[in-house]
Amino acid sequence: MTKIQIKHFELLFNLMLMGAKDNYVKIKTADLAAKLGKSQQAASIYLITLEREGLIERQSSRDGTVVKITQSGLDQLVTVYLLLRNELEESPTSIVLEGSLFSGMGEGAYYMSLPGYKEQFLKKIGFEPFPGTLNLKIDLRHIMEREKLEQYKHLGIKIEGFSDGTRTYGALWCFHCLIESIRGAVVLIERTHYDISVIEVISPVNFRKELNLKDGDNIKLTIFI
């Protein structure tokens, strides 16, 4: 098993610049190698490795390789982007919360799976939520930060409400976030009278599985305004 040496980011970054973010693009391993300052053979191995790790889709043939960055690969790029933005932009733009994981009734998962919401998530936030949300009970010592987030709510990415003929579903506001370095988004609702100490988070992947979490575990959440 070949372990990749140049870390994934640099490779994904270059593939992005070659246009592999939204579309399948045809590239030559030799061109990629030139950008990385490595041999054609090395680039070939890197691509194979990235594919095995699920970060790209790849179809190689005798006259080139067609690649596209997967959702999971895109998440890596976004994670780096958010952290850079937070450090490099004028106004520091993150709120850090801690809380403990708990199981909801599954309503979150239900709402998130509605096409009316789901399609907007994909378009505006950049991923389709894993069916199942993460409920976090915010520690009392972070409650002030939680209040601050509530004030910023309407600066977030707006997910429009909709009606399915039977009932109406309210608008949501979202912020990108990282949960222990995994990409996600916090989801805030309009209702004013609900328990502010609870916060709901969505993600393109199964948090619980990915991070091996169970109810009661303490989680650190970095929210980007």
Partner DNA sequence: ATTACTAGTAATCGAGTAA
Partner DNA sequence: TTTACTCGATTACTAGTAA
Q: Which residues bind a copy of itself (CB under 8 A)?
A: 5-7, 9-10, 13, 16-17, 21, 77-78, 80-81, 83-85, 87-88, 126
* Residue 80 interface partner, choices DNA, a copy of itself, none, CB cut-off 5-8 Å depending on type: a copy of itself
Residues contacting 133, CB < 8 A, separation 6+: 104, 108, 109, 112, 187, 200, 201, 202
* Residue 21 interface partner, choices a copy of itself, DNA, none, CB cut-off 5-8 Å depending on type: a copy of itself
> Would you count residue 141 as binding DNA (CB under 7 A)?
no
Alpha-carbon distance 90 to 215, whole Å? Answer: 37
Alpha-carbon distance 146 to 95, whole Å? Answer: 8
Q: Which stretch binds DNA (CB under 7 A): 57-65, 87-95, 139-147, 204-212?
A: 57-65
Are the C-beta atoms of residues 47 and 29 closer than 8 Å to each other?
Answer: yes
Q: How far is the CB of 181 from DNA (least distance, A)?
A: 20
Residue 81 or residue 102: which is nearer to a copy of itself going by CB? 81
Are the C-beta atoms of residues 111 and 131 closer than 8 Å to each other?
Answer: no
* Residue 23 interface partner, choices a copy of itself, DNA, none, CB cut-off 5-8 Å depending on type: none
Residue 65 or residue 120: which is nearer to DNA going by CB? 65
